[in-house]
Amino acid sequence: MASDGSDSPAALMGLAGRAGLTAVALTDHDTVEGLAEARVAAVDAGVRLVPGCELSCEVGAATMHLLVYFLSDGPAPLQDRLAGLQAARADRNRRIVQVLQDHGLDVTLEEILDEAGGGSVGRPHVAGVLLRKGYVSSVQEAFDVWLAKGKPAYLDRERLLPTEAIALAHASGAVAVLAHPTSLGFDGPELERFVAGLAADGLDGLECEYGRYAPDLRASLRSLAGRLGLAVTGGSDYHGRYKPDIALGTALGDLQVPDDLLESLEARRPGR
């Protein structure tokens, strides 16, 4: 994976092939950089790749995850927007460093990039450098004193909203699915209202068959999807050794995502 999994995209395709999966989706967080490698490896492994990504979208003060499946190959509006967001993030990191330097702290952008070791760089890495250099005694203190909203080195970040993310997915040949739907803390009627709002914005599916969900929660999410006319999807949310209890495809051991769910989801691709 190119974001926060421990296996490379190629290794993941090999694993999917050996596990006997019909198809596997690669959905790195806010990047499509792993897809080219995965495409080649999927052919070798004899497994079908569903190219995608998992977008972080802002809902009030919280972050919602939107799964995007069947991204078309090559340049598309979503890929362009992701590149723009990465550039804005890089610029923000530079400005955060400038504020800290203006306050007399000896930190550099290079130290923050080193701290991150690649991938998406942000405030947690700034906090790590402040901690390492003894300016604070914990990451939390770095946020409380410098980086949290309202503190001197807080700078707002360009935000992707769910409506825009869904539209970008569709404009890029893909479908949009709400990942692990209870993560925002909503349940019951509140969850239904929230998902209905997304459905009105064009949401295509709901990740009901989620590896960590108990059977009754999966069933109630399937009912919700049915009431709102959304496709049911599933996934193990495999992250390699970063989530060691989760196996590819089967999650905690009991997950089975039937092939017909993939077919129903694919039928919702724009232009089909």
Residues forming the site for ligand AMP (CB under 6 A) = 122-124, 140, 143, 148, 157
Neighbouring CB atoms inside 10 A of 18's CB total 12
Nearer Cβ to ligand AMP, position 149 or 272?
149
Cα–Cα distance, 183 to 64 (Å, whole number): 8
Q: Residues 65, 54: contact at Cβ < 8 Å?
A: yes
The 3-state DSSP class for residue 183 equals helix
The CB-of-203 to ligand AMP minimum distance in angstroms stands at 23
Task: Say which DSSP state 29 is in.
Answer: B
Q: Name the residue with tokens 């990039």.
A: 113
Helix, strand, coil proportions of the chain in percent (round to 5)? Answer: 45, 15, 40
Name the residue nearer to ligand AMP (CB basis): 3 or 264.
3
In the chain, count of helices (H) and strands (E)?
A: 10, 6
Closest to ligand AMP by CB, 157 vs 193, is 157
Classify residue 201 by burial, with Cβ atoms within 10 Å: 0-12, 13-18, 19+: middle
Minimum distance of ligand AMP from residue 186's CB (angstroms): 19
End-to-end Cα distance, the chain: 29
**CB closest to ligand AMP, residue no:** 122
Q: Give the length of the chain.
A: 272
For ligand AMP, which is the closer residue by CB, 122 or 270? 122
Widest distance between CA atoms in the chain: 60
8 A C-beta contact, residue 250 and residue 237: no
| Token reading at 192 | 């239904």
The least distance separating ligand AMP from the CB of residue 120, rounded to whole angstroms, comes to 7
Half-sphere exposure of 61 toward its Cβ, with a 13 Å CA cutoff?
3
30/204 with CB nearer ligand AMP: 30
Minimum distance of ligand AMP from residue 123's CB (angstroms)? 4
Residue 84: CB atoms within 10 Å: 11
